[in-house]
Amino acid sequence: MNVWIAGASSGIGAALAKRYASDGHTVFISARSVDKLNAVATEAEALTGEIKVVAVDVTDNASVLAAVAEIQSAGRIDVAVLNAGYYEPIELDALTLEHFQNTYDVNLHGVIRCLLAVLPNMRAESHGQIAIVSSVSGYSGLPRAAAYGSSKAALINLAESLQPECQAAGVDVRLINPGFVKSPLTDKNSFEMPFIIEADEAADRIANGLESKRFEVHFPKRFTLWLKLLKLLPYGLYLRLTKRL
C-alpha cells in the first residue's frame, strides 16, 4: 500500500509514517523542511516498509501538484493523510489579520490544496482513502484559539460535506480529531493539557481507526467525549465554563 502523509516532519505525522512503514507499507512523507523529513526517513531505515521524502509547501499550489505528480508516478496513492498544521496561541490583544491568514493558509487552504490534488485520480479509479486531520479544538470555540480552532472547525465541516459524495464515488473520506498530543505544536502551550498522549500512541489510534468503518477517529475518548458533551450545552452555561479556561 502507498501512503502519503502531508505534514510529516514531526509529531503525529512522523509517528504515523513510522507506524505505516513498520507494517510494511511504502510511505511518502512531505513538509517544507527536507532536513527534518530526512531525519524521519533515517530513523525508519530498519523497518520493513520504506519511507520516501517528497518536499512540499502546502501554501503553494504548484508545489502540492508537483509533489502529488511525483508520488503518483511511482504508483497510485492508496491513503492520503492530510496533516499539515500551524498553531500559535494568541491573546485577544495580539490578534492580527496576518495571524488568521497564516493559520488558514496552512490548516484549511493547505489541506484543500492537497485534497484537490489527490481527489481526481481517486475518483477516476473509485479507490483510495483521504484522512483529514482536524482537532477537538474544532468542536467548539475555546479561549486563545480563535484562528486555530475556527480553521479546524472548517475542516470538520469540510469532511462531513465531502463524505457522502465521495463515498458514492468510491473514495473513503475520514475525519481525525485528536486531543492533546505531545509535539512541537503543543510544546508552545503554557497551560495544563489534560490527558495529553505521546505521538506514537496517537499514530496507533489513527492507523487502527482508519482500518475500521468509523467516519470519525477521535481520542483520547475520556477527553473527547467530554468536549462533545460540552458543545451540547446552552450558550449561557457553555460560555461561563469556557471563561474559566
Residues involved in catalysis:
134, 148, 152
Q: Where are the beta strands (DSSP E) in 9-128?
A: 26-30, 50-53, 79-82
Q: With contact defined as beta carbons under 8 Å apart, do 155 and 107 qualify?
A: yes
CA–CA separation, 113 vs 62, rounded Å? 9
Three cell numbers written together for 35: 532536513
C-alpha torsion angle, residues 194, 195, 199, 201 (rounded to 10): -170
CA–CA separation, 79 vs 224, rounded Å? 25
6: left (phi over 0), alpha (psi -120 to 50) or beta: beta
Name residue, grid cell 467525549: 225
Name residue, grid cell 493558509: 105
Element holding 6 (H helix, E strand): strand 2-6
CA–CA separation, 183 vs 164, rounded Å? 33
Query: Interhelix angle for 97-107 vs 146-168, to 10°?
Result: 30
Q: Which residue in 125, 19, 13 sits closest to 58, CA to CA?
A: 13
